[in-house]
A = this chain, B = another copy of it.
């Protein structure tokens, strides 16, 4: 793409989080084109005004094309922009934060079309392309702030889950342990959690299974 003088390059980048082995992970892809060929990056791509009805559409299209997955929850959280963040010229990156239910990670990894890695969100272990380290740090901060202010990250949960599993997910995001009694009190009366009446199977003291209510609220902006 030519360096735009009158119009900036507009891209969407996606910080896609999930929980794997109890850790908060973020999806990285290895860049297969210049600039920053071969470097790890958040999945992203240029807006296609001829294809996309909105930036969110563009973000969904990028995720479908790179990792063959449709993400239910996608949220734009900030623009990163300026003349120097991308060698192709003046650019605007609209950062989206997305959450993938933990039970969908396996299916996704098997369908990968290029080199992908679920890196530790707090310490991805690679030097990232462009300003993606900054973008990831910001996305993680937004996610932590929400959970800190008592939003429940239900988008990360499978269809049915125990309250203990929900607590472990919050802890993985915050990077610290929560007091069980305090956490349970916080959940009491939450309209976002529905008792299913079913219990875990194959464990000695099976716990109640819950599900997210339809249209639960994770947007604290």
Q: Could you tell me which A residues sit within 8 Å of B by CB distance? A: 4-10, 47, 49-50, 53-55, 76-79, 81-83, 89-90, 92, 94, 141-142, 145, 149, 220-221
Measured between beta carbons, the chain B residues less than 8 angstroms from A221 are 77-78, 141-142, 145, 221
Evaluate contact between B50 and A79: CB separation under 8 angstroms. Answer: no
Evaluate contact between A54 and B81: CB separation under 8 angstroms. Answer: yes
Closest chain B CB from A16 CB (angstroms)? 19
Q: Which of B4, B54, B55, B81 contacts A7 (CB 8 A)?
A: B4
Give 12 pairs: A residue, B residue, CB < 8 Å, sorted on A. A7-B7, A7-B10, A8-B10, A10-B92, A53-B83, A54-B82, A55-B82, A55-B92, A76-B78, A77-B221, A141-B221, A145-B220
Per assembly, the copies of the chain total 2
Measured between beta carbons, the chain B residues less than 8 angstroms from A89 are 49
Evaluate contact between B49 and A4: CB separation under 8 angstroms. Answer: yes
Closest chain B CB from A5 CB (angstroms)? 7
Closest to A49 in B: B90
Task: A23 to B8: give the CA distance in the assembly, Å.
Answer: 38
Task: A81 to B5: give the CA distance in the assembly, Å.
Answer: 21
Evaluate contact between B79 and A5: CB separation under 8 angstroms. Answer: no
Measured between beta carbons, the chain B residues less than 8 angstroms from A141 are 221
Task: A7 to B52: give the CA distance in the assembly, Å.
Answer: 12
Q: Which of B55, B77, B81, B83 contacts A81 (CB 8 A)?
A: B55
Evaluate contact between B5 and A49: CB separation under 8 angstroms. Answer: yes
Task: A4 to B83: give the CA distance in the assembly, Å.
Answer: 20
Closest to A82 in B: B54
Task: A62 to B43: give the CA distance in the assembly, Å.
Answer: 33
